[in-house]
A and B are shown apart, each in its own frame.
Chain A
Amino acid sequence: MSILINKDTKLVVQGITGRDGGFHAQKMLDYGTNVVAGVSPGKGGQEVLGVPIFDTVEQAVKATGANASVIFVPAPFAADAILEASYAGAELVICITEHVPVQDMIKVTPILKKNGTKLIGPNCPGLITPEESLIGILPSMIFKKGNIGLISRSGTLTYEVVNMLTHEGLGQTTCVGIGGDPVAGLYFIDLLEMYENDPETDAVVLIGEIGGDAEEQAATFIKEKMTKPVVAFIAGQTAPPGKRMGHAGAIISSGSGTAEEKIKAFYSAGVPVAKEPSEIPGSIKEKLGL
């Protein structure tokens, strides 16, 4: 078991004929992800990387039975691409594109809810169930199958931590990069609940950062609803207030969203917070009695 994706996930790549879309579609194929179709309006009927191309997601889904879509289209068109996938019946949509306007995401949200579509991102690295399926831009070689779940608002920081976990013999069930935007799809609580219900996940690593209060909400959820151990790390303890730290959502505004508040919330929920990423594997081992 795993969460969200596995070897049976059939993936459409929206924007497969673009530079990034093509590059990462190849990487996903190399990993063994079941990439069944590509979408690029005007290029339907062609074949790219051995994958059939369709003009619309609807055609792709009808012809291939695809149930997930990954989006690499430019920001001004990303919201429309998300909606196209949703109306075509994709159960899971992963939006890698960054710089998507917040108002676009606000408009998309109620429609996804109505259609029952799960969204990851935008501005995210995607997700991976090691040895089964990789969707997005994650570097596959650092991951290893195992029993640890991981959720993160950051890309490279995730790779840093996963590399350490794998090095310490701690493989992963599914790792999800939820992205750095203020208004995004699935978030900490949604995923914590999935890990709690996944029989193969024994512990979860949560990587948060400054901005918003999703970490505080996660802390409450862990305290009240979770039986599995969680270990956290929060980036941005030295970030100045009022400045966006790279990610659109990473900002301390009007004194709220600080690392300090988040760390405090985790401590009060009994969740250990690593002072530096290298402490995470040890902390997990301790929790699992290894």
Chain B
Amino acid sequence: MKIHEYQARNLFRKYGIPVPDDVLCYTVKDVEDNIKDDGKLKVVKAQVHVGGRGKAGGVKLAKTKAEAVEKAGQILGMDIKGLTVEKVLVADAVDIEKEFYVGLINDRNVKAVTLMASAEGGVEIEEVAKTNPEKIIKLSIDPLAGMMDFQARAVALQLFGDIKQARQAAAIIQKLYKLYVETDASLAEINPLVLTPEKEVWAIDGKMNFDDNALYRQKEVIEMREVTEDEQKEIDANENGLSYIKLDGNIGCMVNGAGLAMATMDMIKLYGGEPANFLDIGGSSNPEKVVEAMNILLSDKNVTAVMINIFGGITRCDDVARGLITALDQIKTDIPVVVRLSGTNAKEGLEILESTGLPTVSTMSEAAQKAIELSK
């Protein structure tokens, strides 16, 4: 789960990480009503769930309140990588002497939380990782001992080169780790962490993602969830035990198992078609689930054919076939549906489907080719 920058800043504040003051605004009027004309330099930032806002023109400086109003007017409603900007953050800007990067991730390889830090702040860390990997300091944290003070201090000293500044940064790193662990985060970044000419250290931009598996024990985190229409569809599907992701093609697919579902999409592409979605119905032959899955597939107006790909394991194909008949009976669609059943009781399943007149096949390749043919 992702959150916006303004939400990450609020979490930072809650954990005592210094962040400049800011106001969240939904309209130009919000800016007029809530921003003080205090002569301080402001920065107006689009709040959208994508990276590269600055390059897209979604971050602008404003010297006066009038300018902040003007810039907010330009940014609100803007399209950034397909997302409409619905709110902006108007924050106090701070003078920057130097920019740094500090981030925490769940590292698959070492199976631990890893701290990444770099004196190359303010740019995308992935870029640094590609071009100058030696400029990233990495430290894996012992989950049982936690981040030790000397570790945070040593990394901070490598970045700042001055023990006084390093102490300030080390405290921030410690707080970020505490926040990360306590909220079941999967990513927490301060980029940039800045040093001002007065030698103060501030976090001026933040990004956080959270582990979906742990949301059940993170009530505060869930409350921060803001989703787009497509994401809402994915979440609804999830609540029904389905895993759905919308894509841009026209061949809807319904598959049991995530790996097989990905392989099905790949197969459609391999034979010259475009998959409309990823949809894993899990290991169930429950007709209600099949109905739900069909409803989700057909709510996508781009879909011109559906490929159902089931490999029966513990789930029996004849059960799935019965579920499909019930489902298709309820839905009644003109969109062609190709069914592939294989594995346990596939023969019986295919016999059951014979009466429906649905095209049935026994291999994935045949199913993909047939679905592509019928989609035209």
Contacts and interface: CB of A to CB of B under 8 A. Distances in A.
Contact of A155 (B108, B243, B259, B262): B259
Given A139-B344, A182-B106, A153 B259 contact: yes
Given A101-B184, A102-B186, A235 B262 contact: yes
Interface in A120-140: 137-139
Nearest to B249: A238
Contact of B259 (A105, A152, A244, A248): A152
SS of B interface (majority): mixed
A249 B143 contact: no
Interface string B307-326: 00001111000000000000
Interface string A160-171: 100100000000
Interface in B200-236: 211-214, 216-217
Contact of B108 (A152, A156, A212, A235): A212
Contacts, number: 175
Interface residues of B, number: 52
A173 interface: no
A260 B332 CA distance: 40
A116 B144 CA distance: 17
Contacts of B342: 160, 163
B314 A107 contact: no
Given A139-B343, A154-B258, A243 B111 contact: no
Interface string B268-300: 111000010010100100000000000000000
Contact of A109 (B143, B184, B267): B143
A29 interface: no
B365 A245 contact: no
A99 interface: yes
A254 B108 contact: no
A106 B111 contact: yes
B120 to A, nearest CB: 16
A192 B343 CA distance: 28
A71 B334 CA distance: 45
B111 A109 contact: yes
Contacts of B262: 154, 157, 209-210, 235-236, 238-239, 245-246, 250
Contacts of A248: 211-213
Given A106-B143, A107-B143, A154 B266 contact: no
Given A100-B213, A109-B112, A245 B314 contact: no
Interface in A75-130: 75-76, 99-107, 109-111
A158 B258 CA distance: 11
Contacts of A103: 106, 143, 181, 184, 211, 214
